[in-house]
Amino acid sequence: MTAPPRCIHDILSGKVDRKEGVAIEAEGRDPLTYTRLSEQMSKAVSDLESSGIEKGDRVALVLPNGPEMAVALLSVASAFACAPLNPSYQASEFDFFLTNLRAKAVIVEKPTAPNVLPVAKKRGVRLIELRPSVDQEAGIFSLASSQGQKEEPRFSNPTDISILLHTSGTTSTPKLVPITNSNICVSAENISNALSLTINDRCLNVLPLFHVHGIGILLASMVAGAKVVCTPGFLAPKFLTWLEQFRPTWYSAVPTMHQAILSMVTRTGYIPSVRLRFIRSASSPLPPSVSAELERVFGCPVLETYGMTEASHMIASNPLPPRPRKAGSVGLPIGNDVAIIDDAGNLLPSGAIGEIVLRGPNLFMGYENNPEATKAAFTNGWFRTGDQGYVDSEGYIFIKGRLKEIINRGGEKISPREVEEALLSLPQIEQAVAFGIPNSTLGEDVAAAVVLRDGHSMEPTQIRLAVSERLASFKVPARMLVVKELPKGPTGKPQRIGLAKLFGLEPQPSKSPKDRPSLPPSTPTEIALAKIWCEVLGLRGISADEEFLDLGGDSILATLAISRIRDELGFELPIVKFFELKNIGNIARFLDDANSQKASRRETAG
C-alpha cells in the first residue's frame, strides 16, 4: 500500500507516470494533463524563486476562479505559504489581510482585482502579474516577475506552512489559520477515501478556491488522479449546461447553491442525461427537503458533510451506499476523532448534547500570533469547534446549533466585529452591534442594529448602501435596525446571542397564498416580475408588496432573479437597487419609469 502524501508536491509527482491523464479542464480550453500540470508548477515555483521569493515567504493570490487560479494555488502552496483572498474584498479589507499576513508578494490578474493594487503599493507588497496563456491548455500561465533564470525548484516539507486562511472568532477580528502541507494533504486523502474517488471521477468545481471547501475538493481529486473541471464560479444559469457538457461524476456545493440548482431545474424542466455518482454538501446545514429533491432529480445519493478551516476542511461525512445516510446528520468522523464535552471539558456519552470537539493529523496547531485565542480553542488536547451537538450510538454526528457568535452565512464565516467596525466608520452612527439571524437557505445571515448620533438621521437602506462600500457584499447586513438603545450584557458590552429573538427576526411560519396580503400584481410589469419571483423562490403566488427577503430570498437567489429580469424584461438592475426596492410593486414602478424616460429621450432626439 502506498504511503499517503505528506506535501502537495508528493501528490502531483506521484501522478506524472499517468502521462496524458487529464488533471484540469475548463470551458473553451484544451485539457491539462498531470504531466503538464507538474511542469507548470515547477516553472511557476522556479520563476518566483528567481524573482526573490524564498521558502517561508507569504504569497497572496487575488485571482478569479478558474483553471489559472487552481494551478497557481497548487504551485504556490507546494513551495511557499499561499494565502488565497477573495477578489471581491474592498480596499480596507485587503489592507487588513495583507498586513496581517505579512505578505511579501501578491499575484494578481490585474483587470480583475482593482481594489488590491493601490493597497499593495501603499504597503510595499510586491505585485506579480499572472498572464493566462489562453492559447494553451487550461491553467497554463506566465508570471511577469520571471527573470528568465533557470532555478531548480525547491518544494516544501510536510511541516512547512502551505495554506494561510483567515477565520473569525467570537468577538475578535479574523484570526489567521496556518495549515501545513501535512494537514492539507491528510485532509485531502480523507476526502478522497470517504468519497471512494478514482481516476475515473470528474468533479465539477463551482466553489471559490479562496475557501477551504474549494481547496479541499481540488486536492482530493488530485490525490485520486481524477479530473477537475474549473469553472468561473457558481453561475446557476450555466450549471446545467456544464453538467451536460463535461458529464462529471460528482460536484460539491453549499446549500444555497443546491437550492438555486433545483430552482433552475424547476424553471427549465431539465431532465439530466448525465449520471452523477453522488452529490456532496458542506459548509452549512442542508435542509432535508432539499436533499430529498436533489436525490429525486439526479438519482444519486446526497452526502452531507462537516468541516471547518481549522481542520483543513474535512471532519465528517455521511457514507456512500450501502452504508446508511441519516437525515439531519453530518455523518461519521473521517480520519479524525470527534467527541462531545460539557462546559467543564468533561467527555460526554453518546446521545448527550454538548460542544463538539475534535483532534487528528488534519487539525492545525494554533492561531498565528494569537496565544490567547489558541489557548481558549483547545481543552485537554481537543479542539473546541464552537458547535453544539451530539454523537449517536452508531457514531453519527448531529449538530444542534452554534455556541460561538460568528455568523456562518452559507459557509462564509463572518466576524460581527468586522461588520460593526464598518458601521461605526460612518459619521452618523454612534453604536453598532452585528449578529446572526436564521435563514432557511443560508443557515444564517447578517443583521445589525445601530444607534445614531444626536441630530443625525439615516434610513436602514441608506446605511446598507453606505456600508456596502466598506464590506464585501456577503458581509452587508440583510437586516438593518435603527434603535434608540442597544441591549447590553452583564459587563456593559452589547450582547449578540439572542438578539434575533429579541428584535423579532426569527423565522415566522410560512404563509400560504391565501394568508398573504391581498395586493395582487396588476400591471404587466408586476405580473412578469411575480412570475419570475415565484419560479425563483418556489412559490405559487405572491403579492405586489411582499419583500424578497421575507419570502426566503437571499443574495444568490437575488442574482438569479436579476438575471431573469435582464433576459426577459431587458433591464440590468443593480443588486443594491434590487434590495433597496424590496418588492415587485416598487421594482415595477422603477422599471416602468426608466422605460418611460428612455422613450421620452428617444422622442426628443427624433
* 507 upstream amide cis, omega within 30 of 0: no
* CATH code of 424's domain: 3.30.300.30
| Over residues 566-572, mean pLDDT | 85
Is residue 421 domain-shared with residue 570, that is, in the same domain? Answer: no
Q: Which domain holds residue 418?
A: 407-502
Q: How far apart are CA 166 and CA 413, in angstroms?
A: 9
- Give the pLDDT score at 598: 79
Residue 556 pLDDT exceeds 70: no
Q: What is the mean pLDDT of the chain?
A: 88
Closest CA to 11 of 48, 37, 50, 30: 37
Reported as a single tens digit per residue, the pLDDT across 148-164 is 556 688 999 999 999 99
* pLDDT for res 441: 66
Looking at the structure, do residues 444 and 312 belong to the same domain, yes or no? no
Question: What pLDDT is attached to residue 559?
Answer: 73
32: left (phi > 0), else alpha (psi -120 to 50), else beta? Answer: beta
In a domain, residue 507? The reply is no
Please tell me the pTM assigned to this model: 0.78
The answer on 304 and 196 residing in a single domain is: yes
Q: What is the pLDDT of residues 64-73, one digit of tens each?
A: 999 999 999 9
* Pair (308, 434) in one structural domain: no
Q: Select from 358, 391, 424 the last residue of a domain.
A: 391
C-alpha cell at 528: 412578469
**For position 489, what pLDDT does the model report?**
53
What pLDDT, in 10s, does the model give residues 467-510?
988 888 788 898 899 998 888 654 445 677 788 888 888 765 44
Domains identified in the chain, total number: 3
Q: Say whether pLDDT at 512 is over 60.
A: no
Provide the pLDDT confidence category of residue 408 given band limits of 50, 70 and 90.
Answer: confident
Q: Is residue 398 part of a domain?
A: no
- Residue 600 has a pLDDT of 76
Whether residues 349 and 420 share a domain: the answer is: no
Identify whether residues 90 and 237 lie together within a single domain: yes
What confidence tier does 552 reach under pLDDT thresholds 50, 70, 90?
low
Q: Which residue has the cell 464560479?
A: 233
Q: Name the percent of the chain lying above pLDDT 70.
A: 91
List, for residues 244-269, the tens digit of each pLDDT value. Answer: 999 999 999 988 789 889 988 988 89
Q: Identify the H or E element spanning 217.
A: helix 212-224
Q: Look up the CATH number of the domain holding residue 580.
A: 1.10.1200.10
| Mean pLDDT, residues 546-551 taken together | 78
User: What percent of the chain is predicted at pLDDT more than 90?
Assistant: 58
**Which residues have a Cβ under 8 Å from the Cβ of 382 and sit 6 or more positions away?**
339, 341, 345, 357, 358, 359
pLDDT digits (tens, 9 = 90+) for 96-152: 999 999 999 999 998 888 899 999 999 999 999 999 999 999 999 999 875 655 668
Which string of DSSP letters, residue by residue, matches 534-588? HHHHT-S---TT-BTGGGT--HHHHHHHHHHHHHHH-----HHHHHHH-BHHHHH
Q: What is the CATH number of the domain that holds 311?
A: 3.40.50.12780
468: Cβ contacts below 8 Å, ≥ 6 apart? 476, 576
Biggest CA-to-CA distance, the chain:
81
- Give yes or no for residue 513 having a pLDDT over 60: no
On the question of pLDDT at 169 being above 50, the answer is no
Do 452 and 524 sit in the same domain of this protein? no
Q: Does residue 599 have a pLDDT over 50?
A: yes
Answer whether residue 479 is part of any domain. Answer: yes
- Kindly state whether residue 62 falls inside one of the protein's structural domains: yes
* 304: pLDDT strictly greater than 90: yes
Q: Is residue 402 part of a domain?
A: no
**Confidence band for 79, pLDDT divided at 50, 70 and 90:** very high
pLDDT digits (tens, 9 = 90+) for 25-47: 999 999 999 999 999 999 999 99
- 254 and 126 part of one domain: yes
**Same domain for 466 and 598?**
no
Return d(Cα 58, Cα 104) in angstroms, integer: 6
- 17: pLDDT confidence band, cut at 50, 70 and 90? low
Helix (H) or strand (E) holding 103: none
Rounded to whole angstroms, how far apart are CA atoms 107 and 385? 32
